[in-house]
Structure 1
Amino acid sequence: MKEPLLWFVLIGILLFAVDRSRAPDAIIVNTAVKSQIATLWETQTGTKPGDEALDSLVHDWVREEVFYREALRLGLDREDTIVRKRLVQKLGFLARSVDEDSITAEDIQAYYKVNIADYTLPVRYSLSQVYFKNAAQYDALMQLLNAGDNWMEVGDGTMLPLRLVKKTEREIKSTLGIEFAAQLAGLRQGVWVGPVTSSFGFHIVRLDELTPQTQRPLALIENQLIAELLQQRREQSLDDYYQELMDQYEVVYE
């Protein structure tokens, strides 16, 4: 009886026997569980399950619960990257919980003022352009335009748009190129100007309208502001929760 090894073996056998004899927690299938299963099914399919269908769903739920509990008992959730990420995502979702009703009209107004630059439309250009391939064509084309010929029938055929309406400088760059956009400052409203060069060739351009920088009215983007303000508060809530948790943990870098 004084042999440590013998005691170690006996204690091990006892613990094994207790573990094997201990019944797992009962899986309770009550009215609340059935109602939750039926509601989830209705949400996914749009129809309520009949009695036979509900019995089948409950059977599947019990099967899933048994496998879930056994997986936890075997420790399959530990050191699993997928489970780890899923749990972190779920906790993050809970930590981001923010009541939309907590956002007041004053909050929206203040957020709008602070971020007004994000809701300001830049200068936009409306212009018409005549495209031609050879620089030597310029004088003849200008004469036709000044004589009042139909500008849409003047110049060479092209897949480029002949008219752009209320486009920003960035949009013009994406359509007609950086070189063309760099010459926008030289355009004159209502007057044909050229030759304007681009990577495609040559253009004669008329500025039809210049729309100045304008702020989007709060009333038109209120829903967008609420959504963005909610997202900002959710991220702040998550950061605050993280800082609160960090006070409870010691991080050691080795």
Structure 2
Amino acid sequence: MFDEHVRTEVFVREAMALGLDRNDTIVRRRLRQKMEFVSHGEQPLTPPSDQQLQAHLEAHPERFMSEPRFSFQQVFLDPSRRGERLNRDAEALVVELNQADAAADPSSLGDPLAMASASWQGERRSELLAQFGTTFTDALQQQPQGRWVGPISSAYGMHLVRVSSITPGELPPLDQVREGVLRDWQDVQRQNHQESYYRNLLARYSVRLPQF
């Protein structure tokens, strides 16, 4: 261990003597990281009050909102099987399903799709994004409730859907998300302090743009 320490020290000192530390992107990035780390410790954070945390929660609702939840049924139509008949088949099935209303069994209609069930209850938006993709999930949120509509495209193909309910996301009370709000508040304070630290350092320098 001693020999390794000496070897490192010798090479580092010789490298600096040769100027190998200059204009090296990796070295410069590491030095910047160290200075940013130093700035974090210069001003310890005072624990925030509940009022400050509540204000932070309300100022950034998108970071803490619960996800919307969807309940719906779907009938899959495989474009590779139906080809040019797809839109015509979709229109006929929509009429049939709406006439049958709640008595219709979507699992007995359409084409087989092993990756997705016919009925979904209280599924989070993130789960639907992972399962069906953005296009389907965004379109699902725009559909009327209680009626079969479609077709709507997904990562698999086309779907007829009947939305039974959509529960919008809500901003939870502070007590339920206190730890997350505290971490986020601390991150923001550190970023603000780091920016102020940088601006104070920048004031010591004269910055000139190169002429092209």
- Do both proteins adopt the same fold according to a TM-score greater than 0.5, normalized to the shorter chain? yes
Residue 130 of structure 1: SS of its match in structure 2? strand
2:25 is the counterpart of 1:81:
yes
Amino acid at match of 1:153: S
2:184 corresponds in structure 1 to: 228
CA offsets per residue over residues 15-67 of structure 1, 9 Å max, x none?
Answer: xxxxxxxxxxxxxxxxxxxxxxxxxxxxxxxxxxxxxxxxxx12211221222
How many Å separate the matches in 2 of 1:215 and 1:232?
Answer: 20
Match for residue 80 of structure 2? none
RCO higher in structure (CA 8 A, sep ≥6):
2
| Count of equivalent residues | 192
Residue 96 of structure 1 aligns to a residue whose secondary structure is: helix
Q: State the secondary structure of the residue aligned to 1:187.
A: coil
Match of 2:144 among 187, 208, 228: 187
Distance 1:251 1:244, change over 3 A: same
Structure-2-length-normalised TM-score = 0.71
**Contact 1:177 1:198 (C-alpha < 8 Å) held by counterparts:** no
Where does residue 154 of structure 1 map in the other structure? 109
C-alpha contact (below 8 Å) 2:74/2:119 kept by paired residues: yes
Q: TM-score, normalised by structure 1?
A: 0.61
Q: From the superposition, tell whether residues 157 and 141 of structure 1 become closer, same or farther in structure 2 (CA, over 3 Å).
A: farther
Write the letter of the residue equivalent to 1:175. Answer: F
Instruction: Name structure 1 gaps, 5 residues minimum.
Output: 1-56
**Partner secondary structure for residue 90 of structure 1:** helix
Map 1:91-102 to 2 at 5 A. 91-97=35-41, 99=44, 102=46
User: Deviation per CA, 1:136-194, whole angstroms, max 9, x where unpaired?
Assistant: 34444555x44835442333322462233334499469726637844654432xx4x23
C-alpha distance 176-196 of structure 1, shift in aligned 2 (>3 A)? farther
- Alignment check: 8 A CA contact 1:141 1:154 kept: no
Distance 2:6 2:22 in 1: 23
Aligned to 1:239: 195
Q: How do 1:158-237 and structure 2 match up within 5 A?
A: 158-159=113-114, 161=116, 162-164=118-120, 165-168=122-125, 171=128, 175=132, 178=135, 181-182=138-139, 184-188=141-145, 191=146, 193-199=147-153, 200-203=157-160, 205-237=161-193
Amino acid at match of 1:229: W
Contact 1:128–1:206 at 8 Å: present in 2 too? yes
Alpha-carbon RMSD: 3.3
Distance 2:163 2:10 in 1: 72
Q: What are the Cα deviations for residues 223-245 of structure 1, in whole angstroms up to 9, with x where unaligned?
A: 22222222212221221111111
Distance (whole Å) between structure 1 residues aligned to residue 129 and residue 17 of structure 2 = 62
User: Percent identical across equivalent pairs?
Assistant: 26
Determine if contact 1:180/1:197 at 8 Å carries over to the other structure.
no
Structure 1 CA distance for aligned equivalents of residues 17 and 133 of structure 2: 64
Unaligned runs of 5+ in 2: 78-85
